[in-house]
Amino acid sequence: MTNFSHIAHDDHGLTPGHVDLLQTEPGIASLPDGSFVLVVVPLPAHLDPLPCALYGPAAGDGPVANQGVTLETRGNRAGPSRLIDRPHRPARNMVVIGIRGGVCFTAYGSRAPAPSPMEPWDAERKNAQGKVSAEEVDHARAFWSVHALAR
């Protein structure tokens, strides 16, 4: 049995070894089918690092000031991301987001020990729908005020 039926957004440099890890990771496998998954999985030494686009305190950097940051909508997202002209860096963690027994929405590399919160525009949209709290919106705004993603 695998942890997920498929990976919806798999363009983050995942190799077959990374996919095997997320499909067999015991912490995810122990969850009941239908559980929401939002975890950071450390990569074992035999797997290559994954690219990480995150810059800011959670990734071991100083705060990312507004100078040099642009707000751009990535792909078909409904709002803009804080982007900077810096390279992706190697990461030894993989963030996995999905529904156990269903779709893995995405998996990507991160230098941070915990998943990043959703971006403010997404938190605000979900708050208006009653799906997240005002505290989660405040946390997203505070986090993304000092973090940015490599373009």
Q: Pairing state of beta strands 50-52 and 89-91?
A: antiparallel
- The reply to whether 1 falls in a domain is no
Contacts of 115 (CB under 8 A, 6+ apart): 38, 39, 40, 95, 97
The type of residue at 62 is G
Q: Pairing state of beta strands 70-73 and 80-84?
A: antiparallel
pTM of the model: 0.91
- The reply to whether 12 falls in a domain is yes
Widest Cα–Cα separation across the chain: 48
Mean pLDDT across the chain, nearest whole number?
95
Domain of residue 101: give its range.
6-150
Q: What is the DSSP letter of 117?
A: P
- The reply to whether 33 falls in a domain is yes
- The reply to whether 30 falls in a domain is yes
- State the pLDDT at residue 118: 95
Number of structural domains found in the chain? 1
- The reply to whether 97 falls in a domain is yes
Q: State percent of the chain over pLDDT 70.
A: 99
Instruction: Write out pLDDT tens, residues 3-57.
Output: 999 999 767 889 999 999 999 999 999 999 999 999 999 999 999 999 999 999 9
